[in-house]
């Protein structure tokens, strides 16, 4: 059975509010800079959600405590995006394999 690749899947990236305090991860000067940036850009301190969808099947993964002053473009360029796509692809391919297995049992 063929496995899905990143090209087969519709991808969505979202920057969600982060619940963890900025000051838990950075010293005061950096935390203050992030807080100022957060007033104009949600990517300054967020949880990133990457969602993959293929013909109604959907899975997602999250990366928390992120700070991207370059927004989504910086996130896409840093390597985490590809890692997260791979994780979602594994989940989607497992769902598809499970569906095929279930269908074979009822045939």
Name the residue range of residue 27's domain.
7-106
pLDDT of residue 78: 92
Q: pTM for the complete prediction? A: 0.91
CA distances from 82 to 31, 35, 77, 99 (A): 27, 28, 9, 26
51: pLDDT strictly greater than 80: yes
24: pLDDT strictly greater than 80: yes
**Has residue 2 been placed in a domain?**
no
pLDDT of residue 20: 96
Residues 12-30: what's their mean pLDDT? 96
Mean pLDDT (the chain, rounded): 95
Residues 37-59: what's their mean pLDDT? 97
Q: What pLDDT band is residue 70 in, cutting at 50, 70 and 90?
A: very high
DSSP 88-100: HHHHHHHHHHHHH
**Has residue 67 been placed in a domain?**
yes
How far is the C-alpha of 81 from the C-alpha of 100, rounded, in Å? 28
How far is the C-alpha of 59 from the C-alpha of 54, rounded, in Å? 9
**Has residue 91 been placed in a domain?**
yes
Collapsed DSSP state (helix, strand, coil) of residue 57? strand
Task: Give Cβ neighbours of residue 65 (< 8 Å, ≥ 6 apart).
Answer: 18, 20, 25, 45, 47
Q: How much of the chain exceeds pLDDT 70, in percent? A: 99
73-104 pLDDT, tens digit each: 999 999 999 999 999 999 999 999 998 888 88
**Has residue 65 been placed in a domain?**
yes
How far is the C-alpha of 84 from the C-alpha of 76, rounded, in Å? 10
Number of domains in the chain: 1
């Amino acid at each position: 059975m063929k496995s899905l690749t990143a090209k087969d899947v519709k991808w969505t990236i979202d920057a969600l509010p982060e619940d963890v305090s900025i000051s838990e991860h950075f010293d005061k000067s950096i935390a203050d800079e992030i807080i100022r940036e957060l007033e104009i850009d949600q990517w300054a301190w967020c949880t990133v959600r990457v969602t993959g969808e293929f013909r109604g099947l959907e899975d997602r993964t999250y990366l928390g405590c992120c700070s991207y002053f370059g927004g989504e473009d910086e996130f896409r360029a840093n390597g985490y995006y590809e890692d997260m796509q791979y994780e979602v692809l594994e989940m989607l391919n497992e769902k598809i394999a499970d569906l095929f297995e279930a269908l074979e049992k009822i045939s």
